[in-house]
Chains A and B, each alone.
Chain A
Amino acid sequence: MKEHRLLLFFLLLSAVVLCISPFLGMTATSLSGVFGRHADALESVVFWRIRIPRVLTAYLAGGGLALSGMAFQALFRNPLATPFTLGVSGGAAFGAALYMRLGLAIALPGIGGSTLAAFSGAVLVILLAYWLTRLQGGFATHTLLLAGVALSFFLSSMILALQYSASLHDSFRLVRWLMGGLGMVGYDAVLSLFPLVATGAVVLFLLRPELDLLLLGDDLAMSRGMELQRTRLLLFFSVSLMVGGIVSVCGPIGFVGMMVPHMCRLLAGTGHRTLLPASFLLGGAFLTLCDTGARILFAPAEIPVGVITALLGGPFFLFLLFSRNTRRMLR
């Protein structure tokens, strides 16, 4: 019952955030300006063409990032593991940046080329990170995180190299995108993001019992009847799908996948039956709020939302690293 109330609360929170944030930003819009009898043409355009798609994108991206983080934390049995800290976002970013730099135009029906490139980058880094941990004969936390840091560094230098070789205009565009921003998304972003996040979320939703079992350790999970390889592959696939999609649209936005599932775990416990919907709802609301903050904190200027999440997430990461709960889990 406690769990149901929590989910209901997050649902309400999401509804409130989704309803209010489109009205906030550099250009103030008001109810009467958008819906009123004498609707203002500019306000109405800002509201419908800019704010609504932006808010929806932020919500989908936030929910997807939170779910990806949650899945990685179960998979690697480590509260600090997220697609961002393990360099998977970096891989996706490199894939997408390379695609932009080369000016390619490959697309499958329904999926943009940069999404495809980001997805491939994400898959490659996941496989690499996974292979590195296997090489060690286990999921040694410190090795894993350090490998993630090393991969991230490596990928950022690759991206820097791409940037350096790009024209001034392209280079600026790349930098802004890499900071993680939702500044220039339209309905096409929402439409390309929705199927990817929805697919990933549904796969994870069906894997709730497996996510629970993963936290028991491989042997015990398998002895309970879980097909380990199949579960891992499905998790890799759905996380790559979501992260690839999100990064190609919004750039690598960090720390949402770490902060949100952790907060939900404190409130809802570790069982994924509740943790999964809670993470999605809170992740969506959280990133939408951060993006609203990005619009209004320094108005009329706007800061990239990735900067805000990183400002919140950095200290949070340190807090987690030194907290007793983490130590107990890492042992």
Chain B
Amino acid sequence: MTDAVFDIQNLTVVLGGKRILSALDFTLHAGESLVIVGPNGAGKSTLLKAMLRLVPVQSGEIYFKGRSLKDWSRRELAQHAAYVPQAGERAIPYSVYEFVLMARYPYLSTFAALSEKDHAIAAEAMAQAEVEKFAHRPLYNLSGGERQKVFIAAALAQCPDILFLDEATAFLDYRHQTEVLSLITKLRRDQGVSVVSVTHDLNQGALAYDRVLALKDGQKVFFGSPAELFRSDILENIYDTSFHFLEDSESGRSIVVPGKAVL
């Protein structure tokens, strides 16, 4: 019980009169990473936002590290959890370095300016995400893939122990997809950062997570290990379409392909 990072009980979220999530329950333990999958409009992004207290909760409870999420100040929460939103939402009028530095906000006191330490942490985060070379370019001049890496760098500058990613690889070209995925893997493996990620592409490393939560119409339809998810009857139930599997001859991993196998 004590090692639960997230304990979500009977969570219901209603936005604009529409029920987005209903009666959701699950527990995430320390050190575990979670991937949230499901068809479009299933409530994946909303669940992510609810876990970050960015949307109001209608009923139910979210406990983060044993304490109700409502009782966390934003500042405290930001020292533990960082958010990488879906790409391409809005033009941000800052340079990359300014943007990453702004992520040090939860560590600032009202009167104190940014310290040397904050600059060092921002630089370190940019190095990790390999975005130092565009440090002084404005954010709106970057390509989607570069932008995504900058957003991850900014989240890292927050020094979180849990990182929330919303469709981190959507709309990226193959090279940037690979780079972003390997960056996420590195963070989990080398820095012990837990990741909660939303994706709709099951082949984007869903197998590498400890837990998979599948949502459909705002309800939990599957919660378990990735190995259990990769069964055609389960996937069919989630996505309402048939699937078959291919095996990667190099790694031996399964690859999910939608549609019936054509023989």
Contact = CB atoms under 8 A, between A and B. Distances in A.
A219 B49 CA distance: 8
A225 B140 CA distance: 23
Interface stretch (A80-88, A170-178, A208-216, A302-310): A208-216
A38 interface: no
Interface in A192-243: 206, 209, 212-213, 215-220, 222-227
A327 B205 CA distance: 38
Contacts, number: 73
B186 interface: no
Given A217-B90, A271-B94, A331-B90, A225 B54 contact: no
Interface in B71-118: 73-79, 81-83, 85, 89-95, 98-99, 102-103, 105-106, 108, 110-111
A225 B110 contact: no
A213 B102 contact: yes
B16 interface: yes
Contacts of A220: 83, 85
Given A270-B94, A271-B94, A225 B89 contact: no
B105 A224 contact: yes
Nearest to B78: A225
Contacts of B85: 217, 219-220
Nearest to B73: A227
Interface string A11-26: 0000000000000000
B113 to A, nearest CB: 8
B52 interface: yes
B83 A271 contact: no
B44 to A, nearest CB: 15
Contacts of A223: 52, 54, 78, 81-83, 164
Contact of A329 (B76, B82, B91, B105): B91
Contacts of B197: none
A209 B107 CA distance: 12
A225 B77 CA distance: 7
A212 B79 CA distance: 19
B102 A216 contact: yes
Interface in A251-279: 269-271
B204 to A, nearest CB: 22
Contact of A209 (B49, B54, B105): B105
A225 B106 contact: yes
Nearest to A210: B105
B158 interface: yes
B102 A212 contact: yes
B93 A217 contact: no
Contacts of B95: 269
A165 B82 CA distance: 59
A209 B52 CA distance: 21
A2 interface: no
Contacts of B106: 224-225
Nearest to B151: A220
A137 interface: yes
Contact of A227 (B74, B79, B110, B158): B74
Contact of B79 (A217, A225, A331): A225
Given A223-B83, A225-B74, A225-B77, A329 B102 contact: no
Nearest to A215: B93
A142 interface: no
Given A206-B110, A215-B92, A329-B91, A222 B74 contact: yes
B74 A331 contact: no
A216 B158 CA distance: 15
A264 B85 CA distance: 30
A134 to B, nearest CB: 12
A5 interface: no
Nearest to B113: A273
Contacts of A137: 16
A270 B108 contact: no
Interface in A300-331: 328-329, 331
13 contacts: A209-B102, A212-B94, A213-B105, A215-B92, A216-B102, A219-B85, A222-B54, A223-B164, A224-B105, A225-B75, A227-B74, A270-B93, A328-B91
Interface of A: 77, 137, 206, 209, 212-213, 215-220, 222-227, 269-271, 328-329, 331
Interface of B: 16, 49, 52-54, 73-79, 81-83, 85, 89-95, 98-99, 102-103, 105-106, 108, 110-111, 140, 158, 164
Q: Which 10 A-B pairs have the closest CB atoms?
A: A225-B78, A225-B106, A223-B83, A225-B75, A270-B93, A224-B105, A225-B74, A328-B91, A219-B54, A225-B105
Given A226-B74, A269-B98, 4 more contacts: A212-B94, A224-B103, A224-B106, A329-B93
